[in-house]
Amino acid sequence: MNAADAVTDALCELHTRFAGLRDGRLADYIPQLALADPDAFGLALISMDGHRYSAGDVEVPFTVQSVSKPFVYALSLSVVGLDEVGRWVGAEPSGEAFNAISLEPGTGRPANAMVNAGAILTTALVPDTRHAPRFDRILDYLSRFAGRQLDVDEQVYASEALTGDRNRALAYLIRSAGPLPVDPVAAVETYFRQCAVRVTALDLATMAATLANGGVNPVTGDAVVPEPVAAHVLAVMATCGMYDASGDWLLRVGLPAKSGVSGGLIAAGPARFGLATYSPLLNPAGTSVRGHLALGALSERFGLHLMHNPALAGSTVTLVTTADDLPSAPTGERERAGRERVAVVAAQGALDFTAAERVLYALDESGPQETAAVVLDLRRVTDIDTAARAMLNSGLARLTGSGRRTAVADPADRLVGQGTAAAGAPRYFASREEAVDWCATRRTG
């Protein structure tokens, strides 16, 4: 029995709790989807380290349907860019059903890339060349998100191609609305094929985890899309991913998500996990009944709501008012003649904007009257992001500029990077002892 089985236990418990529910209906407007097993139910979670946890039917294949939309949107954003995609597809929740026949008043754009109109246009924006046909690119990207080669369920494709006139009508409507650089009517058949790509709940969890992990598949290490693209896709999923129930979902469950009419549902915890469920019985909004309940319960139980902020109270910064208080300080140091008291601010973990603000505040708190000299101890820092590095550098320059003697213990060169300190910057040392020693030695003259 492994400790991490506790995660599996939580998924199994949810599976048991909701497996017996018979509410909801199978989608039947694509006739093949009505053949799904109404009892199928699986839940999968992939961590940012690529650890997999699952319960129930997580290897049962089904067609991805609308859950393909965020990933093809990601592909369009990567290839064409946010501004260009944004000229043709909006980013506003429509408050309408997934297949609504409507475009944004004024602009004539589909409201967003998560409703059918926007998704068809997003698909159309993926370049189609002889060497890289549009659908091949899409299938390749979906496969990289999933971390394995996916294929098409030809029967479901044929079934939708036969009955998909509403989507064709949408494509004509879009084409009639403006001077598009691409042809959505030609692309709608590709859109049907993309919807018929076969996945499992484990695949979908990996795909969601890739978005949560800044575009890098946490299982294969493949950088599928750039980090800003992953962030943009998650933002649109958060506001528009659950169709006309998106606001209520964000309110109650609080995670970027996307559902599809075959019963797939994904949710992503940015920088935390990817989740997926499969259960084909749908509620009136077109979302899996069991999936909706299971993810809602999971979010509540583990405090996964995005607006809930468990990260805030962490102990990333500690302030020791004088170096003498440190366990490693030689006894009687303070008494030694000619030595100043030194404040030490120690940071640990990964420093981002929020942590950097705390470090700078602690540096200010550490002086200046009693302890004019201060050491910033970064030995236990594991990472400093670009924003935090810039903030720390300018904050430290202000400190030295204001006359405080400042040293940084930074053995891994995390702050200075190349090891070259700019003018006005503090002194850098490989150990805290050297930094304290330099600060404590009273200058003469």
Instruction: Please give the Cα distance from 224 to 226 (Å, whole number).
Output: 7
Residue placing its CB nearer to ligand GLU in the complex, 8 or 163: 163
Q: Residues 85 to 114: which contact ligand GLU by CB under 6 A? A: 98-99
Q: Is 116 in the site for ligand GLU (CB under 6 A)?
A: yes
Task: Dig out the tokens for 46 from the structure.
Answer: 């992939």
Give the 3-state secondary structure of residue 393.
helix
Closest residue by Cα to residue 408 from 438, 371, 366, 442: 438
Tell which residue, 379, 434, 385, has the closest CA to residue 412: 379
* 77 exposure class (CB count in 10 Å sphere: 0-12, 13-18, 19+): buried
Nearest residue (CB) to ligand GLU, 70 versus 426 = 70
243 is in an annotated binding site: yes
Decide: is 160 part of the binding site for ligand GLU (CB under 6 A). Answer: yes
34 exposed, middle or buried (CB, 10 Å; 0-12, 13-18, 19+)?
middle
> In the set 32, 167, 206, 322, which binds ligand GLU (CB under 6 A)?
167
For residue 47, state whether it binds ligand GLU (rule: CB under 6 A): no
Residues between 337 and 366 that touch ligand GLU (CB under 6 A): none
Q: Determine the Cα–Cα distance for residues 221 and 110; give it in Å rounded to an integer.
A: 34
288 forms part of the interface with ligand GLU (CB under 6 A)? no
141 annotated to bind ligand: no
Site string for ligand GLU, 183-202 (x = CB under 6 A): ------------x-------
Q: Check: CB of residue 257 under 8 Å from CB of residue 295.
A: yes
Residue 362: name the closest of 351, 376, 349 by CA.
376
CB of 103 within 8 A of CB of 173?
yes
Mask of contacts with ligand GLU, 236-265, x by CB under 6 A?
A: ------------------------xx----
Query: With respect to ligand GLU, which residue has the nearer C-beta, 264 or 426?
Result: 264
Count residues contacting ligand GLU (CB under 6 A)?
Answer: 11
Interface contacts to ligand GLU, rule CB under 6 A: 65-66, 98-99, 116, 160, 167, 195, 260-261, 286
Annotated binding site: 66, 116, 160, 167, 191, 243, 261
Annotated binding site for substrate: 66, 116, 160, 167, 191, 243, 261
